[in-house]
C-alpha cells in the first residue's frame, strides 16, 4: 500500500508500455543526420509539445532538464542572469529546499523569505513590500506545497509581481497532473515523476516575454548531453493519462484526503496541517504528539504501508521540516501522505482504522503521558 506518491508516483501499464516503445523507436541520439535519429527527434518533439500543451506553455519555450532540481537551478540562474543590476531573490518561506538552495547560491546569499500564515498561505502584504524594492531579480512562489498541500493564491501573487515588473517563478512540481495547471507565472517548473512519469526528468516552461541568459557553458541547451527520449515519451503519456481522468480522480482523492483529515482531527493529540479546502486533492500531513517519526514510519512499513515524513529524525540533517516550522505545526511524529490514482477507499479505511492503535502503542513505548 503505497501512500508516499508525492514526487514519485508509480507508473501505470500504459506509461511503462510507452517507455518500452520509446526504447524501441527512440533509442538513438536525436541530434544526428540519419533516419533513426530523425525518428527519435520526432518522438522527442511530439512528447515535449504534448507536455507544453498540458502546461499551457509554448513548445519552443518549454525546456527539458535532467531532474526537477536541475530545472529549478537552471531557471533561477538563467532568469537571474538576465536581470543585471538586480541581485536579490524573494521567495515564500515554504518553497522547496531545492529552490532556496539554488536561490542562495545564485544570489550569493541575498535571499529574502516571506512568511506564510498558519494554513500556509503567503503573506501578500509582506510579499508586496519586499518586491517593491527595486533590487529584486525574481520572486519564487510555489503553486502548491509538496508537504502540506496548500495551494497559493497565484492570481493575487502574479498581480503584485506584474505591477512590480518582477518575473514570477512558480514551482508546480507538486500540482501538475492533479488539477488545472496554474495560469499565472512567468517561469514554471514541473516534475514528471510526480504525475506518474519516470524519474530523472524536469520541465521548465517560460513565457515568450520572460528574459533569460544561459548561466552555463552550453548556450540554449538546458539538458547538456541530451535527455532520455523514452523517458520524455513516457512522461507525456503519463500526463495525458492523468488528464483524461483528471476530474474524476481529483474528486475521488480529494474525498479520501478529507476522510483522513476528519479522522485524524478526532485522534487525541494529532495536529492536522494545511488548508482544508484550498489544497491539492491528494496530499495531507498530520503530526502526532509524543511520537517518534522514524518509529512511526518503520511501524507502518512493517504493516505494509509506505508513508512520508517531515520529522527531524527522518531527515539526514536532523532539522525539522522548514514547511512545518513555517506554519507553526508540530514537527515530530509527522506523517505525510501523497495518494496516487491507484489508492482505493479500502486502503484509506485500513489506514484510518490502524493509526489510533499505532499512535497509542508508540506513545506507550516512549513513556509519554496520557493525551486527553
318 counts as binding other proteins under rule CB under 8 A: yes
Alpha helices in 56-147 (DSSP H): 68-82, 97-106, 124-132
Whichever of 121 and 332 has its CB closer to other proteins, that residue is 332
Q: Which residues contact 71 (CB under 8 A, 6 or more apart)?
A: 63, 65, 189, 190, 202, 203, 204, 222
Whichever of 128 and 289 has its CB closer to other proteins, that residue is 289
Least distance between other proteins and beta carbon 314 (Å): 10
Q: Which of residues 149-208 bind other proteins (CB under 8 A)?
A: none
Give the count of residues interacting with other proteins (CB under 8 A).
Answer: 26
What is the distance between the alpha carbons of residues 141 and 207, in angstroms, rounded to a whole number?
16
Q: Which residues contact 289 (CB under 8 A, 6 or more apart)?
A: 269, 270, 271, 330, 332, 333, 368, 371
Report whether 61 contacts 207 (CB < 8 A).
yes
Cα 99-101-103 angle, rounded to 5 deg: 65
Query: b/e string for 325-346 if b means 16 or more Cβ within 10 A?
Result: ebbebbbbbbbbbbbbbebeee
Least distance between other proteins and beta carbon 142 (Å): 20
325 counts as binding other proteins under rule CB under 8 A: yes
Q: Given candidates 311, 338, 340, 355, which one binds other proteins under the rule CB under 8 A? A: 311
Q: Given candidates 26, 198, 320, 338, which one binds other proteins under the rule CB under 8 A? A: 320
What is the distance between the alpha carbons of residues 237 and 11, in angstroms, rounded to a whole number?
10
Whichever of 71 and 263 has its CB closer to other proteins, that residue is 263
75 counts as binding other proteins under rule CB under 8 A: no
Q: Given candidates 324, 337, 343, 348, which one binds other proteins under the rule CB under 8 A? A: 324
Whichever of 252 and 299 has its CB closer to other proteins, that residue is 299
15 counts as binding other proteins under rule CB under 8 A: no
What is the distance between the alpha carbons of residues 293 and 334, in angstroms, rounded to a whole number?
6
Report whether 173 contacts 68 (CB < 8 A).
yes
Whichever of 182 and 310 has its CB closer to other proteins, that residue is 310
A 10 A CB-CB count for 24 gives: 8
Whichever of 209 and 317 has its CB closer to other proteins, that residue is 317
Q: Given candidates 257, 329, 339, 348, which one binds other proteins under the rule CB under 8 A? A: 329
User: Which among 176, 170, 145 has a CA at the least distance from the CA of 155?
Assistant: 170
Question: Interface with other proteins by CB under 8 A: which range of 174-182, 211-219, 285-293, 349-357?
Answer: 285-293
Q: Which of residues 331-360 bind other proteins (CB under 8 A)?
A: 331-333
Question: Interface with other proteins by CB under 8 A: which range of 34-42, 80-88, 209-217, 312-320?
Answer: 312-320
Report whether 274 contacts 291 (CB < 8 A).
no
289 counts as binding other proteins under rule CB under 8 A: yes
What is the distance between the alpha carbons of residues 371 and 361, in angstroms, rounded to a whole number?
13
Q: Given candidates 224, 328, 345, 365, which one binds other proteins under the rule CB under 8 A? A: 328
Question: How long is the chain?
Answer: 372
Question: Interface with other proteins by CB under 8 A: which range of 51-59, 85-93, 106-114, 322-330?
Answer: 322-330
Whichever of 147 and 271 has its CB closer to other proteins, that residue is 271
- CB-based burial label for 143 (10 Å; 0-12, 13-18, 19+): buried
Question: Interface with other proteins by CB under 8 A: which range of 129-137, 229-237, 310-318, 346-354?
Answer: 310-318
266 counts as binding other proteins under rule CB under 8 A: no
Whichever of 13 and 317 has its CB closer to other proteins, that residue is 317
A 10 A CB-CB count for 219 gives: 8
Which residues are at the interface with other proteins (CB under 8 A)?
269, 271, 287, 289-293, 311-313, 318-320, 324-325, 328-333, 366-369
Amino acid at each position: 500500500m503505497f501512500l508516499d506518491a508525492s514526487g514519485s508516483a508509480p507508473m501505470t501499464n500504459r506509461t511503462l508500455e510507452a517507455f518500452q516503445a520509446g526504447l524501441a523507436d527512440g533509442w538513438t541520439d536525436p541530434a544526428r543526420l540519419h533516419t533513426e535519429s530523425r525518428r527519435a527527434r520526432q518522438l522527442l518533439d511530439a512528447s515535449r509539445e504534448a507536455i507544453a500543451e498540458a502546461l499551457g506553455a509554448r513548445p519552443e519555450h518549454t525546456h527539458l532538464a535532467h531532474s526537477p532540481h536541475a530545472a529549478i537551478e537552471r531557471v533561477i540562474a538563467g532568469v537571474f542572469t538576465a536581470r543585471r543590476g538586480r541581485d536579490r531573490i524573494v521567495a515564500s518561506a515554504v518553497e522547496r529546499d531545492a529552490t532556496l538552495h539554488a536561490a542562495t547560491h545564485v544570489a550569493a546569499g541575498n535571499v529574502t523569505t516571506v512568511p506564510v500564515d498558519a494554513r500556509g498561505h503567503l503573506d501578500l502584504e509582506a510579499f508586496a513590500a519586499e518586491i517593491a524594492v527595486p533590487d529584486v531579480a525574481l520572486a519564487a512562489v510555489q503553486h502548491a506545497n509538496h508537504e502540506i498541500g496548500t495551494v497559493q493564491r497565484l492570481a493575487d501573487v502574479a498581480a503584485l509581481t506584474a505591477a512590480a515588473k518582477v518575473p514570477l517563478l512558480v514551482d508546480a512540481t507538486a500540482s501538475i497532473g492533479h488539477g488545472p495547471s496554474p495560469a499565472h507565472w512567468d517561469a514554471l517548473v514541473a516534475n514528471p515523476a510526480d504525475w506518474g512519469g519516470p524519474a530523472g526528468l524536469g520541465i521548465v516552461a517560460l513565457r515568450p516575454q520572460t528574459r533569460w541568459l544561459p548561466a552555463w557553458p552550453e548556450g540554449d541547451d538546458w539538458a547538456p548531453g541530451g535527455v532520455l527520449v523514452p523517458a520524455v515519451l513516457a512522461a507525456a503519456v503519463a500526463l495525458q493519462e492523468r488528464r483524461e481522468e483528471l476530474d474524476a480522480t481529483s474528486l475521488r482523492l480529494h474525498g479520501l484526503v478529507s476522510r483522513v483529515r476528519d479522522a485524524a482531527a478526532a485522534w487525541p493529540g494529532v495536529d492536522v496541517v494545511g488548508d482544508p479546502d484550498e489544497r491539492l486533492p491528494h496530499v495531507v500531513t498530520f503530526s502526532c504528539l509524543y511520537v517518534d517519526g522514524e518509529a512511526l514510519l518503520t511501524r507502518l512499513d512493517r504493516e505494509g504501508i509506505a508513508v512520508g515524513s517531515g520529522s527531524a529524525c527522518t531527515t539526514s540533517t536532523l532539522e525539522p521540516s522548514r514547511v512545518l516550522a513555517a506554519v507553526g505545526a508540530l514537527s515530530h511524529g509527522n506523517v505525510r501522505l501523497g495518494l496516487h490514482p491507484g489508492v482505493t477507499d479500502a486502503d484509506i479505511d485500513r489506514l484510518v482504522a490502524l493509526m489510533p492503535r499505532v499512535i497509542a502503542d508508540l506513545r506507550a513505548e516512549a513513556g509519554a503521558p496520557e493525551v486527553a
